[in-house]
């Protein structure tokens, strides 16, 4: 049984007494102070995507029995099991819902382009169409429509940033009794009190922000809809065992369970609308300096920032006008669009030539509940393709356009590296190690998706691919960029430089934690894409050097640059990723001739736990990156207990966090000192 499904009903958790020896914060001399209470969408959603992958999937791959984990039993059966299987994973899921269902940080799905098209075809109002669509999706997964959360604010595209403090008192009144003396609070089923202040939102469309959000949505949607379940027992069923024909006729429903399946449906609808809006509205023509549909700007790209003037509908906010605020193409924007679009393409892929298609996904996109692609668009012959708004066609169109942007605007073939920005036809000269490394990972996912290989949690599984031209081009760039890291970016101390100036032909003299993260991430991705051991060997050496030279044993964290230890969400997400890669691919094995202690599995897990305790959770209730927590991580609500911290850890309940009415469970930047 998946832990995720255990957590969706009433909280079955026990209450821990306050400070125990296992918890950070009892006797800590280190301060982990929040430096800014602004919410950065791109950084948060990126970090939580890495937290997700470093959560349940990682724990399970290392042999952890997820069924024995209990949110109320902190650090049991081990601290690593709990931090990965409960905290990392559940923080990740709840933050996504805060952004795309609760906060209002973006534009309402009722005005999404697919919603609008279907409403026009049906001759009804958009809100009526969306309500009926949600009811239909609920039926497809076997969830009673009345169980859908009330006053949800589903977004089809998200803004760049906002104030994560709640705009009114959070409704923590009792909705229903739970178990072990706990109760389910009203805000868990009615999201009305969880809105953020729209006047404090940065109403700007930034590809890294709505792309990173899409990464979270796509990873969870793929997990939630990646199998079927029995309509009566709600138990997961292997989709490959189902017979042809409607699943309902076989006593089956879509999704791994009814509750998770419904969330998967909502997330999928949001992503479809997002990509359709991006394709038909947000591509920039640098010659005319106008934005519009991809069909009208075949050589266009997604600009860094587009200002939104809202129409003023207080219930279902929509767009009145768009204005390009920054017409540059930034590498971070492009790889944070390429990666999630690749993930979603793996779900929607309907190419007849692809033998690896997940049969559960095939049922989701067979025309009900989501439209199927025209047959000519999936036949492998591009010459007969037609325009379409179905999820597969829209995703393919955006995916290939973003790939072309990276290849044509950011790839410097002479240098053999990706540059961080381009404007119009002018390419910049700076190579950033973090950005280049993550571009390798995004290209790895692109190559897998376009070649029909498994993505999502199964992105390491082998299969026979389609060997497309685009996949080959991606792999060539992966190899050259990884070779460039080896030849040009490693300094005499064995650390990666922060970047490289292609015009001067020299690497930067300074280094940083982000540079190590980018280099390790990129080299490990190159190893996974090519199976060339030289990339794994180099990533192992970098990890050992990073651990030796940047870890501060007093701070219980890595120094980020020089003597400074300041963490934003991008850095925290990257650290989480590096620990995961070390545990999955870089740790010492019997075949390794060199076995540094830093790469022993126990040593990596110790670093994971220490980092999570110190930097993410923080030593005290008002310190650490995680601003607050939900009941999924053990902070249950009990009548008569107004502590706002019933599990006795160092992260408060949402209504007791910073601010007049509390703060959402998201990540904030911190600075460590002693």
- The residue count for the chain: 674
Chain CA centroid to CA 293, Å: 26
- Residue written as token pair 């697919």: 114
pLDDT in tens, 407-461: 999 999 999 999 999 998 899 999 999 999 999 999 999 999 999 999 988 887 7
pLDDT in tens, 216-250: 999 999 999 999 999 999 999 999 999 999 999 99
Q: What is the mean pLDDT of residues 200-211?
A: 98
Does the pLDDT of residue 5 top 50, yes or no?
no
pLDDT of residue 265: 98
3-state helix, strand, coil in the chain (%, to 5): 45, 15, 40
Residues in CB range of 576: below 8 A, 6 or more apart: 47, 50, 51, 54, 88
Is residue 529 within 8 Å of residue 444, measured between CB atoms? Answer: yes
Backbone angles phi, psi at 139, to 5 degrees: -65, -35
* C-alpha to C-alpha distance for 488 and 559, rounded to whole angstroms: 23
Q: Which is higher by pLDDT, 16 or 493?
A: 493
| pLDDT level of residue 619 (50, 70, 90 thresholds) | very high
The three-state secondary structure class of 243 is coil
* C-alpha to C-alpha distance for 447 and 445, rounded to whole angstroms: 5
* C-alpha to C-alpha distance for 631 and 647, rounded to whole angstroms: 10
Q: What is the mean pLDDT of residues 260-264?
A: 97
| pLDDT level of residue 550 (50, 70, 90 thresholds) | very high
Bridge partners (DSSP) listed for residue 88: none
pLDDT of residue 458: 82
pLDDT in tens, 551-563: 999 999 999 999 9
Is residue 613 within 8 Å of residue 597, measured between CB atoms? Answer: no
Q: Burial of 548 by CB count in 10 Å (0-12 exposed, 13-18 middle, 19+ buried)?
A: middle
Nearest CA-CA partner of 618 in 657, 660, 570: 657
pLDDT in tens, 321-331: 999 999 999 99
* C-alpha to C-alpha distance for 564 and 554, rounded to whole angstroms: 13
* C-alpha to C-alpha distance for 118 and 115, rounded to whole angstroms: 5
Chain CA centroid to CA 509, Å: 32
pLDDT of residue 28: 65
Q: What is the mean pLDDT of residues 184-204?
A: 97
pTM of the model: 0.95
Q: What is the mean pLDDT of residues 518-546?
A: 98
Is residue 406 within 8 Å of residue 334, measured between CB atoms? Answer: yes
Residues in CB range of 100: below 8 A, 6 or more apart: 106, 154, 155, 158, 213, 216, 217, 267, 270
Percent of the chain scoring above 70 in pLDDT:
96
Does the pLDDT of residue 107 top 50, yes or no?
yes
Q: Burial of 211 by CB count in 10 Å (0-12 exposed, 13-18 middle, 19+ buried)?
A: buried
Is residue 241 within 8 Å of residue 365, measured between CB atoms? Answer: no
Is residue 340 within 8 Å of residue 210, measured between CB atoms? Answer: no
Q: Which is higher by pLDDT, 2 or 320?
A: 320
pLDDT of residue 436: 98
pLDDT of residue 7: 38
CB atoms within 10 A of CB 597: 11
Q: What is the mean pLDDT of residues 43-68?
A: 96
Q: What is the mean pLDDT of residues 649-672?
A: 97
Does the pLDDT of residue 200 top 70, yes or no?
yes
Q: Burial of 60 by CB count in 10 Å (0-12 exposed, 13-18 middle, 19+ buried)?
A: middle
The three-state secondary structure class of 67 is helix
Nearest CA-CA partner of 102 in 152, 150, 148: 152
Q: What is the mean pLDDT of residues 612-641?
A: 95
Q: Which is higher by pLDDT, 27 or 486?
A: 486
Is residue 391 within 8 Å of residue 366, measured between CB atoms? Answer: no
Tokens of 113: 């382009």
The torsion region of residue 229 among left (phi > 0), alpha (psi -120 to 50) and beta comes to: beta
Tokens of 322: 């768009």
Does the pLDDT of residue 19 top 60, yes or no?
no
CB atoms within 10 A of CB 504: 8
| pLDDT level of residue 210 (50, 70, 90 thresholds) | very high
Q: What is the mean pLDDT of residues 258-278?
A: 98
Helix (H) or strand (E) holding 261: helix 258-281
Rounded to a whole number of angstroms, the CA Rg of the chain reads 24
pLDDT of residue 13: 30
Average pLDDT of every residue of the chain? 94
pLDDT of residue 644: 95
pLDDT in tens, 341-354: 999 999 999 999 99
Residues in CB range of 590: below 8 A, 6 or more apart: none
* C-alpha to C-alpha distance for 270 and 128, rounded to whole angstroms: 17
pLDDT of residue 22: 37
Helix (H) or strand (E) holding 507: strand 506-507
Is residue 193 within 8 Å of residue 171, measured between CB atoms? Answer: yes
pLDDT of residue 314: 78
Is residue 489 within 8 Å of residue 519, measured between CB atoms? Answer: yes
* C-alpha to C-alpha distance for 558 and 205, rounded to whole angstroms: 33
Chain CA centroid to CA 397, Å: 21
pLDDT of residue 315: 83
* C-alpha to C-alpha distance for 632 and 56, rounded to whole angstroms: 14
Q: What is the mean pLDDT of residues 653-661?
A: 97
CB atoms within 10 A of CB 81: 21
Nearest CA-CA partner of 629 in 605, 606, 609, 646: 646
Q: What is the mean pLDDT of residues 513-538?
A: 98
Sheet holding 637-638, edge to edge: 174-177, 182-185, 637-638
Residues in CB range of 229: below 8 A, 6 or more apart: 142, 235, 236, 237, 252, 253, 255, 256, 257, 258, 261
Does the pLDDT of residue 172 top 50, yes or no?
yes
């Amino acid at each position: 049984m998946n832990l995720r499904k255990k957590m969706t009903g009433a909280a079955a958790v026990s209450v821990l007494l306050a400070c125990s020896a296992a918890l950070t914060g009892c006797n800590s001399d280190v301060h982990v102070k929040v430096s800014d209470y602004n919410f950065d969408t791109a950084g948060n959603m990126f970090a939580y995507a890495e937290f997700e992958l470093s959560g349940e999937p990682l724990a399970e791959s290392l042999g952890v029995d997820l069924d024995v984990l209990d949110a109320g039993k902190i650090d049991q059966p081990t601290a690593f099991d709990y931090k990965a299987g409960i905290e990392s994973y559940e923080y990740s899921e709840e933050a996504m819902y805060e952004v795309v269902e609760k906060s209002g940080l973006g534009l309402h799905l009722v005005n999404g382009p697919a919603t609008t098209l279907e409403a026009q075809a049906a001759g009804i109002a958009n809100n009526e169409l969306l309500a009926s669509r949600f009811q239909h999706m609920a039926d497809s997964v076997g969830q009673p429509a009345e169980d859908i959360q009330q006053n949800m604010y589903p977004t089809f595209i998200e803004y760049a940033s906002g104030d994560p403090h709640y705009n009114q008192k959070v409704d923590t009144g009792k909705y229903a009794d739970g178990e072990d003396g706990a109760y389910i609070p009203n805000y868990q089923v009615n999201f009305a009190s969880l809105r953020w202040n729209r006047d404090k939102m940065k109403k700007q469309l930034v590809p890294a922000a709505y792309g990173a959000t899409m990464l979270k949505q796509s990873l969870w949607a793929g997990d939630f809809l990646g199998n079927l379940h029995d309509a009566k027992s709600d138990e997961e069923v292997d989709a490959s065992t189902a017979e042809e024909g409607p699943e309902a006729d076989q006593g089956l429903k879509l999704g791994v369970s009814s509750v998770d399946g419904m969330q998967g449906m909502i997330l999928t609808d949001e992503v479809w609308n997002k990509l359709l809006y991006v394709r038909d509205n947000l591509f920039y023509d640098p010659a005319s300096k106008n934005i519009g549909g991809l069909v009208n700007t075949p050589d266009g790209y997604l600009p860094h920032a587009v200002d939104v003037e809202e129409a003023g509908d207080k219930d279902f906010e929509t767009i009145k006008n768009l204005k390009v605020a920054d017409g540059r193409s930034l590498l971070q924007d492009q790889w944070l669009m390429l990666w999630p679009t690749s993930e979603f393409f793996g779900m929607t892929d309907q190419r007849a030539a692809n033998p690896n298609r997940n049969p559960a996904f095939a049922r989701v996109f067979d025309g009900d509940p989501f439209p199927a692609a025209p047959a000519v668009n999936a036949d492998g012959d591009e010459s007969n393709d037609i325009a379409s708004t179905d999820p597969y066609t829209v995703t393919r169109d955006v995916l290939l356009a973003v790939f072309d942007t990276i290849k044509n605007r950011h790839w410097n073939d002479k240098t053999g590296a990706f540059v961080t920005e381009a404007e119009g036809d002018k390419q910049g000269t700076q190579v950033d190690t973090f950005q280049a490394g993550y571009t390798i990972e995004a290209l790895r996912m692109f190559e897998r998706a376009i070649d029909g290989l498994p993505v999502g949690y199964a992105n390491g599984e082998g299969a026979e691919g389609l060997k497309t031209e685009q996949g080959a081009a991606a792999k060539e760039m992966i190899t050259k960029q990884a070779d460039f890291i080896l030849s040009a970016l490693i300094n005499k101390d064995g650390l990666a430089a922060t970047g490289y100036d292609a015009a001067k032909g020299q690497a930067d003299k300074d280094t940083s934690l982000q540079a190590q993260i980018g280099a390790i991430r990129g080299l490990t991705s190159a190893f996974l894409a090519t199976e060339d051991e030289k990339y794994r060997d180099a990533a192992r050496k970098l990890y050992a050097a990073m651990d030796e030279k940047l870890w501060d044993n007093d701070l219980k964290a890595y120094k980020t640059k020089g003597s400074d230890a300041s963490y934003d969400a991008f850095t925290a997400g990257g650290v989480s990723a590096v620990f995961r890669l070390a545990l999955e691919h870089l740790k010492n094995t019997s075949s390794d001739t060199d076995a540094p202690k830093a790469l022993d599995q126990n040593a990596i897990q110790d670093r994971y736990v220490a980092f999570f305790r110190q930097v993410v959770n923080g030593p005290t209730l008002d310190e650490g990156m995680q601003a607050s927590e939900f009941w999924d991580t053990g902070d249950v609500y009990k009548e008569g207990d107004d502590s706002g911290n019933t599990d006795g850890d160092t992260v408060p309940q949402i209504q007791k966090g910073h601010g007049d009415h509390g703060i959402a469970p998201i990540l904030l930047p911190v600075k460590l000192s002693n």
